[in-house]
Amino acid sequence: MSMITATTWVPRGFAAPFPTKYAFDEEEYSRIAKLAKLQLEDAEEDLEEAQEEEKKITESSSSKVEVNGSGKSKQQDDEEIDDDLKEYDLEHYDDDLEDTNGDPVAMFTNTKSMMYYQNDEEDPYITLKDDESEDEDRENLQILATDNLLLAARIEDEVAHLECYVYEDEADNLYVHHDIMLPAIPLAVEWLDFAVGKAAGDSKGNFVAVGTMDPDIELWDLDTVDMMYPSAILGQGAEDLQEDKGASKPKKKKKRSKGPNDAYHTDAVLSLAANRHHRSLLASSSADKTIKLWDLNTTKAAQSYSHHTDKVCALAWHPTESTVLLSGSYDRTVVAKDMRAPASAPPRWGVESDVETVKWDPLDPNYFYISTESGTLHFHDARNAPSKPEQSKPVWTLAAHSEALSAFDVNPFIPGYLATGSVDKTVKLWDITPTGPTQVVSRDLGVGRVFSTVFAPDREVGFRLAVAGSKGAVRVWDTSTNRAIRTAFAAKTADGPLKLDASKEVEERMVALDEDSESDSEEGEDEAEGGADGWESMEE
């Protein structure tokens, strides 16, 4: 099984032209050892709790002694078997060996004391030099100024990882540049242009924040490949690691809190939103019903908010009012909160079902959109806040899909251009006019249930739409090559660099990752759903 739960773009010009390879030195070894120790302690703590629970159940249910046919108890049989196997010492089979000094001997006994060489030229044991292979690797890792990165959170056979694709628009090419292993099922991905953990004078960066079913948020450097652990962690995992730094003797790990608190999340992280004006701020929302505001300079929670009564699943910063955060929840309300006034009661809007996604209109930030589980899209004027959520009056509502409207995006360059995606497996493109929305195209792109629809972030590729979903497929669709889109938006783009010629016939373009290697069974499933290639559509 393969599934993509979230995607996001990286704008052009932020990725390093030649990403560096992960360097495993003494300092990094020490950092990884501490992180691994924390993970081991977590696992041991969970095992102890499970054993204690099992022991209680066993004691309560074993008041009678089980007797076999020979009149011996089961316990006596077990003791006789133990005597027979005693010579093999199986109880200590997995124990670490000890050297002459009493220190444990691991599988790789001299890892910490290994000598590291800056390059193969300095290593006396390497006689075959690989300058040519290094040049080839460097060329393969190169990212051009005209390339976009596309990040996709994937689950494949119960293994979670983040795939970093390079999208070459002119070459119609999409390929995996590198990937990052994740600790749990990823639910939210947000690109950061802030250099986490770097020198204060060099704040420009290319990082990604990943929220998973675990309560911690991991921050990864996208300009370094083959990293083993994140550059930083937001959550209790980071606090535990900070406590262990400089300690001569490891401290006992604090037990994780079960209930919400102000310092970190205690349940799955459902949404992330980077503040593009205050670049060191990251907002996160969780199933623990709270919203956290993180300072990326200190990797600590600067503020915690609890103005929702159920899971908070969607966040969006206001495009111009940089301290206003829009949040949507399973409590069927949306809140526009000014982060500077944590104690004040924020305006609140109500909807008919659980909120799926919220977004501000990038071209008119007085308005915002809400998508819901019922497949409805709401368009609200933020200046008209109701006195009670149930009295909310949207500018218009749209029954966009027959099932949950799981993803949508508003084009930042083309007025009134909207894309929606749903678990009904369709992607729809809309033209928002003063009288309301008009459907332009509806298609099944063969990605299964749609979990992500995101427009490219650069004007040069403003019509490109990335779509992904439950089949683990990624599609980048150049919607400007669609005849219906060209007709609908020709007038709106007539005076800009994205000008469309509606009279010109153009072959449609859509790039898919490893499209030729898709299985026959998947194609058969597509045919059963009404079109193997996904191009049977309704166009108005």
Q: Is 257 exposed, middle or buried (0-12, 13-18, 19+ CB in 10 A)?
A: middle
CB 345 within 8 A of CB 335: no
Please tell me which residue, 228 or 532, carries the higher pLDDT value.
228
The values of phi and psi at residue 30, to 5°, are -65, -40
pLDDT (0 to 100) of residue 156: 92
Question: What confidence tier does 336 reach under pLDDT thresholds 50, 70, 90?
Answer: very high
Q: What is the mean pLDDT of residues 144-162?
A: 95
Average pLDDT over residues 444-459: 97
- Residue-wise pLDDT for 35-79, tens only, equals 677 667 777 777 887 888 888 787 776 655 555 555 555 556 556
Q: pLDDT band for position 115 (50/70/90)?
A: low
Q: Comparing C-alpha atoms, which of 401, 451, 436, 430 is closest to residue 539?
A: 430
Whole-model pTM? 0.77
Query: Can you give the pLDDT at residue 7?
Result: 98
Antiparallel, parallel or unpaired: β 474-478 and 464-469 = antiparallel
Please state, in angstroms and rounded to a whole number, the distance separating the CA atoms of residues 198 and 161. Answer: 24
Using DSSP's 3-state secondary structure scheme, residue 488 falls into helix
**Tell me, what's the pLDDT at 200?**
54
Answer whether 269's CB lies under 8 Å from 217's CB.
Answer: yes
Q: What percent of the chain has pLDDT over 70?
A: 73
Question: Is a pLDDT exceeding 70 seen at residue 538?
Answer: no
Q: Do the Cβ atoms of 474 and 512 come closer than 8 Å?
A: yes
The pLDDT score that the predictor gives to residue 41 is 72
